[in-house]
Structure 1
Amino acid sequence: MTVMRFFLTFVLFSLFLVAPPARATSQTFSTEELLQGFERTVFGLEYRSWSWRPYMVKKFTKPVVFYVHNLSARDRKSIVHRFVREIDRRVGGLKASVTNDPAAANFEVYVVDRAQYVPVVKKDIYKNDRAKVPGRCLVRVVSGRKGIKRSSAVIVSDEGEFLFKRCLVEEILQGLGPMNDDERLTHSVFNDSSRHSRFTVFDQIILNMLYDPRIKPGMSKKQIEPILPLVVRDARRRVR
């Protein structure tokens, strides 16, 4: 092999090594993977309490109106607003918008620095000075038989871009209904071991399944089983 041929081979091999993986599409995942993903995120809770009925569908039935409380030193409002617009664009059956009036919101997002996290969660989320504060960021969902009434997320801003973006995506999406994490979901932000920090194609399909009009708040696994394969098929078509 000549020096030139060796050099060209080395360059091509190096390019192959650093080339990014092919972008996932709605056809990347099998129907079984998506059915399991829906079950593992929608039926269950990352943080359980006696007042929940975790094995029932939870979702908004009205438009979701967001208000952002930016309490951190860095103004993150525009990033949160952009993500809300992405949700509105990518999830069929769900209308998401932003308001400048906190009284008009049913989903409040608190962007805080780490030192503010525990005080804000106790005062504004749990309204209890003795409340235990789990996690590095969180979302609280108030839900009933007719669907989610309101959600509140707390996102930490000053511990790096990855944590901020990861928390932003995961907590807001969980506040829309798929509230459980599972380490088997390698393509999802609903997995604390994954390194995803964006609205993945897998999660877009899960949200489109949840907000399909055939899926109603309060439905059980048994009730949705007959229709879920059709819901998967239609959700694939909505995700590009």
Structure 2
Amino acid sequence: MLHDVGRIFRGAAGLVALTALSACALLGTGGPDLRPAPRIPPPKVEEPVADPSVASKAVAAHFTRVETDLVTRGLLRMDGGGPDTPWGPREITENFVRIALYDEYVSESGRLIAREAPARLRRWEKPVRIGLRFGASVPEQTRAKDRATVATYAARLARQSGLSISVTDHAPNYWVYVVSEDERPGLGTEWAGLFPGLDPRELDAATGMGLSTFCMVLAISDGDSPVYSGALAVIRSELPDLLRLSCFHEEIAQGLGLANDYPRARPSIFNDDEEFATLTRMDEVLLRVLYDRRLKPGMREAEARPLLGPIVTQAIGGGS
């Protein structure tokens, strides 16, 4: 059964205010059997669309303004933190509990309700194979840059987690789509083919992202298992460079099991405030803790917290 679907969104608030917000949620839903995703051959490189629609141009202009506003306010940092963001074992422990063992939203009567709720520890237990797919609107030069970005980042995540994470066209189980406002609405059938039985509401969320969302990821497990079996990340192709990089970093990492946002997590990308654009050293420690073999998928806070002291100490000293 398709059961655990993590809807993890990264969003920006209204066009006029040009402020940024993030919202993350991990839901449990019911559904039909999830069969293994078929191996889909790499698509042929298509010529870029010569003239994006008015809607796509408006989306690009909007997010360019959003990025400019965030950078002007000192946000979307890439320095990983510094003297202004001190942290230690206590902060790592609390941040880990709130990010990995809580959900920011719950599902009630088919609706997302903003209410924090305890959750189980969720992660991958098998190699993660990232398959990149681009809409025809994405020029080959941009595709090449994105491929290099994701490959480098996947190698970094693999080093920190100890999990096998690669970018490959051989039987991907973590799909990353970079598509435009013109292309995304027509992908529902393709995504349903990758994840048979995916709740139509989840497909609607992925195909119908509003301007309040930069990007999103659906992290999926079978039945009531706390072990992820697949994921789908959707990145807007209209995003300017820094927001695009930020989306790759946050969505791919959150799809590994650090699913919640916690406002006190700093320096971190797992935070609603958009202060950091790229994975920080503290985030690397959180990832090492998540994939420590002393923690088991399905654990709740009462089981995991007593184990965190030595795990956190060792993870802080781990390095990259």
C-alpha separation between the residues in 1 aligned to 2:230 and 2:263? 27
C-alpha separation between the residues in 1 aligned to 2:119 and 2:199? 26
Does the Cα contact within 8 Å between 2:81 and 2:280 map onto a contact in 1? no
Counterpart in 2 of 1:17? none
Counterpart in 2 of 1:38? 96
Counterpart in 2 of 1:128? 200
Between stretches 91-100 and 230-239, larger displacement belongs to 91-100
Counterpart in 2 of 1:140? 218
Alignment of 1:8-157 (within 5 A): 24=82, 28-49=86-107, 55-71=119-135, 72-73=137-138, 74-75=142-143, 76-89=146-159, 91-101=160-170, 104-120=171-187, 124=191, 128=200, 131-132=204-205, 133=208, 135-143=213-221, 144-145=224-225, 147-157=227-237
Does the Cα contact within 8 Å between 1:137 and 1:167 map onto a contact in 2? yes
Change (3 A) 1:106 1:226: same
One-letter identity of the residue aligned with 1:94? L
Does the Cα contact within 8 Å between 1:108 and 1:152 map onto a contact in 2? yes
Alpha-carbon deviations, 1:6-34, whole Å to 9, x = none?
xxxxxxxxxxxxxx989649x95221111
Alpha-carbon deviations, 1:121-177, whole Å to 9, x = none?
685265738724453210001124251111111112322112101111110001000
Does the Cα contact within 8 Å between 1:65 and 1:96 map onto a contact in 2? yes
Higher helix share: 1
Change (3 A) 1:82 1:183: same
Counterpart in 2 of 1:186? 266
- Cα root mean square deviation, aligned: 2.9
Change (3 A) 1:48 1:168: farther
Alpha-carbon deviations, 1:97-126, whole Å to 9, x = none?
12122xx12211111224334444685265
Q: Under a length normalisation based on structure 2, what TM-score does the superposition of the two structures give?
A: 0.60
Give the drift of 1:61: 0.9
Does the Cα contact within 8 Å between 2:179 and 2:237 map onto a contact in 1? yes
Does the Cα contact within 8 Å between 1:59 and 1:217 map onto a contact in 2? yes
Counterpart in 1 of 2:75? none
When Rg is computed on C-alpha atoms for both structures, the one with the higher figure is 1
| Higher RCO (Cα < 8 Å, 6 or more apart) | 2
Does the Cα contact within 8 Å between 2:250 and 2:269 map onto a contact in 1? yes
Change (3 A) 1:120 1:238: farther
Give the drift of 1:86: 1.6
Counterpart in 1 of 2:23? none
Q: Under a length normalisation based on structure 1, what TM-score does the superposition of the two structures give?
A: 0.79
Does the Cα contact within 8 Å between 2:179 and 2:234 map onto a contact in 1? yes
Does the Cα contact within 8 Å between 2:101 and 2:121 map onto a contact in 1? yes
C-alpha separation between the residues in 1 aligned to 2:217 and 2:274? 19
1:167 aligns with one of 235, 241, 247: 247
Higher strand share: 2
Does the Cα contact within 8 Å between 1:41 and 1:182 map onto a contact in 2? yes
Secondary structure of the equivalent of 1:214? coil
One-letter identity of the residue aligned with 1:169? H
Identical amino acids, percent of aligned pairs: 29
C-alpha separation between the residues in 2 aligned to 1:182 and 1:163? 20
Note the residue ranges of structure 2 that are not aligned, 5 or more in a row.
Answer: 1-77, 111-116, 193-197
Does the Cα contact within 8 Å between 2:80 and 2:280 map onto a contact in 1? no
One-letter identity of the residue aligned with 1:110? Y
Counterpart in 1 of 2:39? none
Secondary structure of the equivalent of 2:303? helix
Does the Cα contact within 8 Å between 1:42 and 1:180 map onto a contact in 2? yes
One-letter identity of the residue aligned with 1:164? R
